[in-house]
Structures are given as structure tokens and as C-alpha cells.
Amino acid sequence: MTDRSNTDPQRMEKIVSLCKRRGFIFQSAELYGGLNGCWDYGPLGAELKKNLKDYWWRKNVRERDDIEGIDGSILTHREVLTASGHIGGFSDPMCDDLLTKARLRADQIEPQDGVVYSYTGAGYPDTEWSVERPYSVLIKPEENQNENNARKIAKQYYGQFLKDKELSPKKISLAGESTEEVKGTTSFNPATGSLVTEPREFNLMFKTQMGASSSEDDPNAVAYLRPETAQTIFVNFKNVLETSRQKLPFGVAQIGKAFRNEINPRNFTFRSREFEQMEIEYFCAPEDGMRLTDEWLEKRLDFYEEIGIPREKLHILDVPDGERAFYSKKTYDIEYEFPFGIQELEGVAYRTDYDLGKHGDHSGKAMDYFDEEKRERFVPHVVEPSAGCDRTVLALICEAYDEEVLTDDKGKEDSRTVLRFTPKMAPIKAAILPLLKKSEDQTRIAKEIQKSLQPFINVFYDESGAVGRRYRRQDEAGTPFCLTVDFDTLGESGDELKNTVTIRHRDSMEQERVAIDDLLVWLLKKIQ
């Protein structure tokens, strides 16, 4: 599936359904009809997400001497976002063509000259119907357009309001026609000549008021929910540098929530209004930026491989000139083949010294770094691997989802739904099952095993129904191992098998025997 438009909505629907059925992901405030673009993680989803975050933190913070972690506040000072350019520069003015409803970037409409034909409303002969609503059309005489074009378009526009579909818009009578010559107008869609709506600002940041008694119109009380975790890192650059005694190159990592008022949340949790990021800002000397960007790309690809997302399902988009943010010299998007299309999981961007430079200028506090060896002073450059945590969780689920057709001894077909998580990501590492519930010895031993493993890994005890059914239930939860306490465990087949259990493997459904005393080490090895 390398075609971007290749999608599988049915597969996605099954995944969404499984997520709810098994308690991975629920819609937020479902009880009250749902909250647009917000999702809640259930018991299994919370474990899965935590495993991902823990592993990311372990690989990028704990196991590296050159990266420090922080956990910044979500509420953000407005000056931080003024300096970063989020307030002011980045909200796009949008307007809609009143006739075709096409959405246009207001700042991208070329100024046009021509004659504006304006109307105050319209009516329909021999009926009660009429509408009073101003509307205009731009006519360009040099394109051989005339008043007939204007009237035709206006009739189509007013025709939208006709309730009776039998009536032809062509017979509409226009009211109050007037004309005016204009130069350099941007109020009309160049493609149709139709009037567009007034430009509206789409500011995608969540605004709030600081202080319990602050007045709603007090500009000094305005704060924002951060639209990205990155800015918290930039504004703490000096603090971390001084307290950690790091030297360039070094990075600051953070996992945390960010908020964007997405115009159109879509594709399950993929585009949410509240989401979690896993970001590193890796500070370096200017001459190392390009090389480190490539190195980080490789490291991040390795990471995805380790959590069970194969390299061949990932696509690297080398974002071309003109499509990158203006301050970025190089950006790679790491994309995954979701069932709804190829979509971005992570961006690895070389942001130059833009961010620290901006905060230096805006705050008036120097952000430069003195390299003692080279006796040089400069503003550090930064490489940013910025991963979407919820998107990666979704990718893990999509990648793990599998339906398998099994044929039993009698040739009867049967299908099995399995989430093939890699063991270190699996929400439940092992299920502990007494073969028979009515065997008191089996349930007692199984519960003892549960108690002994619980402090170290997430395990699940289940004694209900036939063991085969319990195995299948764990397959849908993605549990890689089932530990079954049986009659051999009790010593019925002799001392050799006494105090051992059956370990049933999720993917192959094969079994092996392991001594109870060895279980913890056996499992820890498998889940790293």
C-alpha cells in the first residue's frame, strides 16, 4: 500500500469497535453525547500508552547521558507564544465563496479590477417567495464578461434559497441592481466572481483566564493552553543548561499534553483537540544541525521498529522547499500506513536558531552559549524530533490488529481476532489461568503466582469458563502469554512437572512448560 489514497475504512471500523469493546479507547463524555475531538483511554489503552511513554523516556532520557527530561506547565504565558509567533502570525484568515461554498485563504486572493454588480435581493414571479439579502458579483470586462454573466450568477446564488425545487432559478427576478467600478478588490472569488464572506480568523489556540477573579476582558489575565510542548523547552533552555551542567550538544525531552482547536478533528484519535506529544529539542552548534537531523531520523526509525512498527510500513517525507516552515532548513515527516491513509506520526525538523533567537530577542535575555574549547559565543541551533504519542498508540493498535482463520481437527473454520503487540508494549503481559476453577489447589497456586508477579509487571487473573475461551479473550487484549496452572502443576504426572505451568504463546498458540520459580525472569526477558 504505497498509494496515499489507498484506504480500508472497514478495517478501521473494526479497530474502533474493538477499542471500545475491550476498553482501549472511549469517546470523551460519551454519556452526554460526546465531546468533539476528545477521547479517553480505558484500562487497556492507558496501560498501552503508558508502556509507550515509559519506553520512549527510557530510550531518550534514562539511557542517554546527553538528554535531560522536563515536565512543563500546560498553562502558558502569552509572551511565550507572542515570541514564538503563535499569537499573531499563524492564524489564517479564511473566507467562503457564497455561491460554491469553496473555502479560500483570504490572504491568497489576488487583487482584482472590474465592475461590481450588486443586488439587494430577489423574488419569483407569480409566487409569494422573495428574499432580501445583499449580494454582489465581480465582472471583468477584459474577459468578455457582461451584465448577463452577473445576473446569471446572482440568480444561481438566490436560487439556493428557493424551497420549492420545481422552480427554476433562471426565472428569478433580481432586485435593486447597481454597478460600481472597483480596483484591487479581494472580496470576490477569482474563479467564480462570486462575493466571499468576510475573512474570519481561525485561531487554533485555546485561550483561558488566569486568576479566579480575573475579568473576562482583562488582557493581562489571558493565558493559553500550550499548542505544542516545544515552547516550554525553549523557555527553559537556560535553566536546564545551568542546573544540569550539560555542554553542547545536548537535548531536553518532554512528554506532555498540547491543545489545538482543530477545525476538523478526524480519523478517530488521529487528529484530536487534546493530544500528547513526545518531544526532544536537541541543541547543537550551527555546523552540526544538518548532520544531526539525519542521525535523529535514523534513531527514530529504529525506535518505531523496536516497538513493533516495521520499517516497511513507514514512509519518510523529505519536506520540500516552500512547504517547510520558513525557519526550517530541513524537515522529515515520518509517516505510517494507517487504514485511513498514509499519515504523519512524527516530524524531525532542523529549526536552526530560530526559537532561541526569538525568545532571546523578545525577553531581552541572552540565549547564547559559550563554547569554551572553541572560544566561541553563539545562539544554539536545534533539531526537533517531535512524535505524536496518541498517534503512535493508534499506529500500534492498527499494526497489531489481525484476524486469523483457523481450521480445527474436524476441518471446521473459525476466526480469531488477535492484537499482536510486541510484548514490551502489550497492556497485559501475562494472564494467569487455573485450568479448572473448581480445583482449589489450582486457583490457590494461580493466585499466588499473580501476587508474586504483580509488583513487576501487569498481569491478569481469570478463572471463568473454558480455558480456550479465556485464551481467545486474551488474544483480543493482545496479551502475549497465558500461564495455565493445571494438574501437572499439582504433581499428578510426577515430580518432573510439579510446580511448572504451561505458557501459551499468543501468536503461535504453541505451549511450553516453565517452572513457577523461573516465571518472573522468563517474562522480564521477553518484555525487556
Closer residue to RNA (CB): 34 or 286: 34
Closest contact distance (angstroms) between CB of 341 and RNA is 7
Q: How far apart are the C-alpha atoms of 81 and 383, rounded to whole Å?
A: 20
Encoded amino acid at 407, one letter: T
Cell of 471: 485464551
Closest contact distance (angstroms) between CB of 247 and RNA is 29
Closer residue to RNA (CB): 116 or 280: 280
Closer residue to RNA (CB): 193 or 265: 265
Closer residue to RNA (CB): 64 or 472: 472
Asked whether the beta carbons of 336 and 314 are under 8 A apart, the reply is yes
Look at residue 25 and give its three-state secondary structure. strand
Closer residue to RNA (CB): 18 or 122: 18
Closest contact distance (angstroms) between CB of 123 and RNA is 22
Closer residue to RNA (CB): 168 or 511: 511
Look at residue 306 and give its three-state secondary structure. helix
Closest contact distance (angstroms) between CB of 139 and RNA is 24
What dihedral angle (degrees, nearest 10) is formed by the CA atoms of 49, 50, 53, 58?
-150
Q: How far apart are the C-alpha atoms of 470 and 443, rounded to whole Å?
A: 15
- Phi, psi values for residue 211, rounded to 5°: 95, 125
Closest contact distance (angstroms) between CB of 426 and RNA is 16
Closest contact distance (angstroms) between CB of 115 and RNA is 28
**Other Cβ atoms closer than 10 A to 102:** 14
Closer residue to RNA (CB): 20 or 311: 20
Cell of 208: 483561558
Closer residue to RNA (CB): 61 or 453: 453
Closer residue to RNA (CB): 220 or 264: 264
Closest contact distance (angstroms) between CB of 66 and RNA is 26
Q: How far apart are the C-alpha atoms of 159 and 155, rounded to whole Å?
A: 6
Closest contact distance (angstroms) between CB of 102 and RNA is 7
Cell of 426: 502489550
Cell of 374: 572553541
**Other Cβ atoms closer than 10 A to 152:** 13
H-only helix segments in 85-229: 147-159
Closest contact distance (angstroms) between CB of 160 and RNA is 9
DSSP character for 135?
Answer: E
| CB proximity list for 33: less than 8 A, separation 6 or greater | none
- Spell out where 186-340 has E strands: 200-202, 207-209, 222-225, 250-259, 274-284, 314-318, 330-338
Encoded amino acid at 362, one letter: H
What is the DSSP track for 204-268? -SPEEE-STT--TT-GGGEEEE-S-SHHHHHHTHHHHHHHHT--SSEEEEEEEEEE---SS-BTT
Closer residue to RNA (CB): 210 or 509: 509
Tell me how far CA of residue 97 lies from CA of 3, 101, 135, 190, 450, in angstroms: 32, 5, 11, 10, 64
Asked whether the beta carbons of 329 and 322 are under 8 A apart, the reply is no
What dihedral angle (degrees, nearest 10) is formed by the CA atoms of 513, 518, 520, 523?
-40
Burial class, 474, CB count within 10 angstroms (exposed 0-12 / middle 13-18 / buried 19+): buried
Closest contact distance (angstroms) between CB of 24 and RNA is 11
Closest contact distance (angstroms) between CB of 203 and RNA is 7
Q: Does residue 125 come out as left (phi exceeding 0), alpha (psi in the -120 to 50 range) or beta? A: beta
Look at residue 479 and give its three-state secondary structure. coil
Closer residue to RNA (CB): 61 or 396: 396
Closer residue to RNA (CB): 253 or 418: 418
Closest contact distance (angstroms) between CB of 350 and RNA is 13
Q: How far apart are the C-alpha atoms of 446 and 442, rounded to whole Å?
A: 6
Closer residue to RNA (CB): 191 or 263: 263
Q: How far apart are the C-alpha atoms of 97 and 109, rounded to whole Å?
A: 12
Closest contact distance (angstroms) between CB of 447 and RNA is 15
